[in-house]
Amino acid sequence: MKFLVVFIATLVVLAPWSLASLVQDVSADDAEVLQSVRLLTSVERRSNGANEFVLVHGASHGAWCWYKVVTMLETKGYKVTAVDLTSLGRSKVSADSVTSMVQYVKPAVDHITNASSKVILVGHSAAGTVLGYIMELMPEKIEKGVFLVANMPAFGILNSTTYASPNMSSVADFTYANGPSAPPTSILFKPDYARQRYYNQSPKRDVTLALSLLSPQPLTPLVGVFNFTPERYGSVRRFYIQTLNDNTSPAAFQEGIVKANPPERHFKIDSDHSAFFSKPSEVTCILEEIYHS
């Protein structure tokens, strides 16, 4: 049996939701988040109905992974929504039933469509292809695209394929909903592997939270041919945030992405792959700078 996994187009809803209720007591109970908030500039800048941040998670994660960044941005007065892609986070849809990019990104597209103004779209890791798809689909609704250690597509045709890896079964569980001779329909990395690859600098309690909430990632939506044009995808201002101590995306890989299609700004953070856990204040400060640029 072949073990397959998507890697060329990095992966990464149902209804968008605010995380305010999840972290409503964080200012009282979480000294670390409080300290992170204090590190931000003391000058409050209110959005007053201007561009909303829409945060998109990566593979196997959900809106929950942004809880620190959401808290900090909302504390500063910005409007922010983290979305769950279909089958992930609070979505009740089975990962193995998600068969198209249209289905996969529908919650994000629906939210952006109904937004009162353009949004600043932020994607982590595997959400890079998702951001590119949405920017190509509806550039008139996207003010800026922010790629946090995410695949930032170059212009032209992206043929997202799979490759066989006989050793992947030791680090990931695959589901073959279409039978053992067909490509796998979903993947979930095992806890020890996820801990090492995603969270090598993240606080232990955030790692515990993440490992309890990770869910199978649908593979089928991100296998196929995507076209990213200068006229549509390329018309949106793009920003890239590089993570410097990343066990998933090495520096050379990230710098290659930036070189292939240079963004307006290239930021760097001394963090692991999950900067929203390990360096939330830095992520928030960069997003605030991008907002006002």
Residues 111 and 88 sit within 8 Å (Cβ to Cβ): no
Taking the C-alpha atoms of residue 135 and residue 142, their distance in angstroms, rounded to an integer, is 7
Residue 151 falls inside a structural domain:
yes
Is residue 195 included in any domain, yes or no? no
Residues 6+ apart with CB under 8 A from 24: none
For residue 34, the model assigns a pLDDT of 39
Question: Mind listing the pLDDT tens digit for each residue in 155-180?
Answer: 998 877 654 354 688 899 999 999 98
Residue 49: inside a domain: yes
Which structural domain range is residue 93 located in?
Answer: 12-160+225-291
Q: Identify whether 186 is a catalytic site residue.
A: no
pLDDT at residue 223, as a whole number: 84
List per-residue pLDDT tens for the chain, 293 residues long.
Answer: 433 333 333 333 223 333 333 333 344 444 444 344 333 332 333 333 468 999 999 999 999 999 999 999 999 999 999 999 999 999 999 999 999 999 999 999 999 999 999 999 999 999 999 999 999 999 999 999 999 999 999 999 887 765 435 468 889 999 999 998 888 999 999 999 999 999 999 999 999 999 999 999 999 998 888 999 999 999 999 999 999 999 999 999 999 999 999 999 999 999 999 999 999 999 999 999 999 99
Beta pairing, strands 119-124 & 142-148: parallel
Active site residue 273: yes
User: Which residue in 84, 96, 206, 246 is the catalytic one?
Assistant: 246
- Total count of domains within the chain: 1
Is 128 within a domain?
A: yes
Residue 83 lies in a domain: yes
Distance in angstroms (rounded) separating the CA atoms of residues 76 and 62: 23
* CATH number of the domain enclosing 22: 3.40.50.1820
Do the domain assignments include residue 110? yes
Q: Considering just the CA atoms, what is the radius of gyration of the chain in Å? A: 18
Interstrand relation of 217-218 and 186-189 (parallel, antiparallel or unpaired): antiparallel
Q: Indicate the pairing of strand 265-269 with strand 237-243.
A: parallel
Strands 52-56 vs 4-6: parallel, antiparallel or unpaired: unpaired
Buried b (16+ CB within 10 A) or exposed e, 150-188: bbbbbeeebebebeeeeebeebbebbbeeeeeebbbbbb
Give the active site residue among 60, 87, 125, 274. Answer: 125
Q: Is 47 one of the catalytic residues? A: no
Catalytic residue among 61, 111, 124, 273: 273
In a domain, 212, yes or no: no
In a domain, 91, yes or no: yes
